[in-house]
Structure 1
Amino acid sequence: MPEVPVPDTTLIDPRTGRARGSRPAARAPQVTAAVAAARRALPDWRALTPKERSRRLHRLATLIEEHADAYAERERAGTGKPAHEAAGEVEQMADLFRFYAGAVRAQPAPAAGALVAGHESWVRWEPLGVIGVVVPWNYPLMMAAWRCAPALAAGNTVVAKPAETTPDALELLAEHAREALGEGVLTALPGDRETGRLLVAGEVDMVAFTGSAGAGAEVAARAGTRRVSLELGGNSPVVVLPDAPEDTWAQLAAATTYNAGQSCAVPARVITLRANYASALAGLGAAMRERVAGRDFGPLNNADQAARYDRIVASSAAKVTVSGDTAPGAGEDGGYWRPATVLADLPDDDPAVLEEVFGPLLTVQAAESVEAAVALANGVPQALAASVWTRDLPTGLALAARLDAGETWLNCHLVQTAELPHGGRGASGHGTDLSALALHEYQRPKTVTARLLMAPPPSLT
């Protein structure tokens, strides 16, 4: 058969909107070869003791730290993030590999012992095999670490497809993984949506996908009976009571504009009581004006996302719109820069309320009561993250418990660490990222029971 030509994907710098290079988009032969390499590497990798896998993962983390500048440069090229954001995410990625290098050596086990008379039973946690990972463009490094680190620590091999617009950083991670972990243990497979479809439908044992709800539904359908872990975005409510801390607005503005708002767990919908609606709008507007595109946060990632963002904002029925500034020089050469924005006085069924906007934007709604605020907060299909802001700790904790979200914060937002699990509900998907619990996403338990053949002890009577 003639060799199938591999199309090139043009890479765009989101800061300028101009081409910065290209990558071949893998097709069936390349996908098949990558999965086959992972399959060949699997027996030796899974046979390693947790101690040895841990040692190699620590070596990978060291390589990441030693080449932190190169990782940050690649991250910025694909996303346009400010230098401080990219550097911080490289540090977090290395920390995640170190966390799972330790966690795999300390896994708790289910009960074992003589659970049936005359028998001894125990449980083995076994890797699933070859994991197909699909990584989004908003956090090319951190999302790769969230998925790949626990999968590798658990004894699996991984074929990871980066987003079409941001292959650079994951390619470097795969190079260092080859050095630290071995050939075929972690492979990067650059490409487009068709590449992702081929990987999901390929000979992998599990698919871990992070992306949009629509794409997640397609992934689940293509995966069939295989295990799937889906993190599918959010539309986070932020319930602000009249006694909220003084720094609430500054905290929310900073969280909303981090990564230009392109985060599944970012604050999205501010819900106040009628009594503090006007003051909330004033405080939030002032805080968002302080966040400057090009200084405090970067551009949107790509032309499609910018067009989608503009469509949602243009179709909103908001009567009040507050916009921040763009730093001098940012956007003069093009690019997908959008200012920090607040939309208020809008109906509950407004597109900016119901859809995940994925940009530096907050909506503000007023509720007539706490009950109504909870109903608004839980009134969208997504259920990934939420926050409550009040000085009254018992009230805040009680309210946080009523919000339907996989992760809830009180008087903070986007505070995450490797030790705490993160996962969605409803249209936000299912499965667990982060924490030791994520190891079990990529493992299956096997119960082993042995009949004891030894003679019974002599009677004492």
Structure 2
Amino acid sequence: MNTVLVDPRTGRVRGSSAVAGEPEVRSAVAAARAALPGWRGLTPRERSRRLERLAALVEEHADSYVAREAAGTGKPDSETAGEVEQVADLFRFFASAVRAQSAPAGGRLVDGHESWVRREPIGVVGVIVPWNYPLMMAAWRCAPALAAGNTVVAKPAETTPDTLELLAEHAAEALGPAVLTAVPGDRRTGRLLVGADVDMVAFTGSAAAGADVSARAAGRRVSLELGGNAPVLVLPDAPDDTWTQLARACTYNAGQSCAAPARVITLRENHEETVERLVAAMRERLAGRDFGPLNNPDQAARYDGIVKATGAGRNVAAGVAPRPGEENGFWRPARILADLPDDDPAVVEEVFGPLLTVQRAEDLDAAVALAGGVPQALAASVWTRDLATGLDLAGRLDAGEVWLNCHLVQTAELPHGGRGASGHGTDLSTLALHEYQRPKTVTVRLRDGG
């Protein structure tokens, strides 16, 4: 059985991909189970060297990764090239981090006994990643899991299997057979993987799908990143480049990022200026020239439904400039919605598109309350020249990651993770290693009790 693949830039069929069923999933997990003793038995230094080799292969074949990522997502090369570079860096980061990880205090903590803590891999990890960052989200999950000594069976999204399949090919060369395996397929394939003989599931996707994964995991460890709806607090003294920075962040990957700015919140005195300046900045961002399309027909239809249902008094869209032959792609313009109720669909739902809503608050307390008025709590940003106020607001906002006078600035060294309906768990940083390890305390009696 195959699934049809569509180029989001043109709307035309670009090929097909296999859909793994129960035999294929069972076989992949069994192979990962068989490869586990050899992989976890390597010293951190040897695992590190092999992960470094995988990073080098990603760099050596960067053009192939860029082309595959563009075919599946429609992103411009300026975005995909940077993401491929980040993926190689991520494998290098965790290759080093696993050799320098720390453990809780050990020593003679009980009289007459010596104790220490071992960090051991979980086992076989099932990884399920979405279509908005097919390669990068796979690396966020797979790199720390592999560095920690686990083997991985990873399922890409149905519309974007291309880069994860290539990564699995290079992993077989650099890490060994079945240490990282890709099983392309649909939602049923993902459910089969969750229900298979895996020891942990790492899932990135929607809140509804995350709840289903948790139920099917039946007590096994689960790491969930379930999307966001990021508030953006813009104060009257915001920096001059606030508008262009937000327009770029909102339209990066056509807004299809869980941490993208989504809900701009102003005070009464700077509301009109904020709307005007954001409209001007967003009008400078053209779909097809500056950013890519939405990924698939379902996402385009969902986005269109939210825009149609909005009660916004002001609904301003920029232009669309596809290249010749790409007129039928899933292009959507950069858009600003203002003068809308706080329970508007564009506010309470994760839009996942190149769209910003603008709301007004009476004071800072009300702005913080509006920011926390949705179930998701993944990311947020504050824009003000008053760093003391900005830092205070950053501390008050309920989010796993908060930026001050910037947005979507991330690096391998800093953790990323959600709260509330955005899930739980940690991606990036040395803390992510702990997601894929379990501690074991070993205590030795030093004196003979004879």
TM-score normalised by length of structure 1 = 0.97
Number of the residue aligned with 1:432: 426
- After superposition, residues 86-165 of structure 1 pair within 5 angstroms as 86-165=80-159
Q: Deviations over 1:157-190 (max 9, x none)?
A: 0000000000000000000000000000000000
Shift of 1:331: 7.2
**Counterpart mapping for 1:215-254 below 5 A:** 215-254=209-248
1:359 and 1:331, CA in 2 relative to 1: closer, same or farther beyond 3 A?
A: farther
Aligned-pair CA distance for 1:333: 3.7
Is 1:257 the counterpart of 2:220? The answer is no
- Aligned residues of 2:117 and 2:440 also touching (Cα < 8 A): yes
Q: Which residue of 2 aligns with 1:278?
A: 272
Q: Say if 2:5 and 2:15, in contact at 8 Å, map to a contact too.
A: yes
Name the structure 2 match of 1:172: 166
Cα distance in structure 2, aligned partners of 1:454 and 1:70: 63
> Aligned partners of 1:388 and 1:454: how far apart in 2?
61
Q: Contact 1:293–1:330 (CA<8 Å) still a contact in 2? A: no
Please tell me whether the aligned partners of residues 144 and 433 of structure 2 are also in contact (alpha carbons under 8 angstroms). Answer: yes
The answer as to whether partners of 1:64 and 1:71 remain within 8 angstroms in 2 is yes
Give me the identity figure in percent: 77
C-alpha distance in 2 between matches for 1:23 and 1:326: 30
Gaps of 5+ in 2: none
Aligned: 1:360 with 2:354: yes
8 A Cα contact 1:161 1:191, kept in partner = yes
C-alpha distance in structure 1 between counterparts of 2:310 and 2:263, whole Å: 14
Question: Relative to structure 1, is the Cα distance of residues 330 and 406 closer, same or farther in structure 2, using a 3 angstrom cutoff?
Answer: farther
Q: Distance in 2 between matches of 1:452 and 1:397?
A: 50
Say if 2:334 and 2:355, in contact at 8 Å, map to a contact too: yes
Once the two structures are superposed, the pairs formed by residues 182-221 of structure 1 within 5 Å of their partners are: 182-221=176-215
8 Å contact 1:25–1:190 — kept in the other structure? yes
Would the aligned equivalents of 1:15 and 1:330 in 2 still touch at CA under 8 Å? no
The aligned counterpart of 1:313 is 307
For residues 378-397 of structure 1, the aligned pairs below 5 Å read: 378-397=372-391
Report the TM-score, using the length of structure 2 for normalisation.
0.99
Q: Specify every segment of 5 or more residues in structure 1 that has no aligned partner in the other structure, as ranges.
A: 1-6, 457-461
- CA–CA separation in structure 1 for the residues paired with 2:343 and 2:444: 60
Check 1:26–1:335 CA distance in 2 against 1; reply closer, same or farther (3 A cut): same
For residues 281 and 328 of structure 2, what CA distance do their matches in structure 1 show?
26
Give secondary structure in 1 for the equivalent of 2:107.
coil
Partner SS state of residue 427, structure 2: coil
Q: In the alignment, what sits opposite 2:29?
A: 35
User: Paired residue for 1:11?
Assistant: 5
- My pick for the range that moved more, 236-245 or 325-334, is 325-334
Alignment partner of 1:115: what SS?
A: strand
| Counterpart-to-counterpart distance in 1, 2:221 and 2:382 | 34
- Compute the RMSD of aligned alpha carbons: 1.1
Distance 1:204 1:233 in 2: 24
In structure 2, the residue matched to 1:3 is none
- Cα separation, partners in 2 of 1:349 and 1:281, compared to 1, 3 Å: same
Q: Distance in 2 between matches of 1:328 and 1:295?
A: 7
In structure 2, the CA distance between the partners of 1:22 and 1:332, relative to structure 1 (3 Å rule), is closer
Deviation at 1:322, TM superposition (A): 1.3
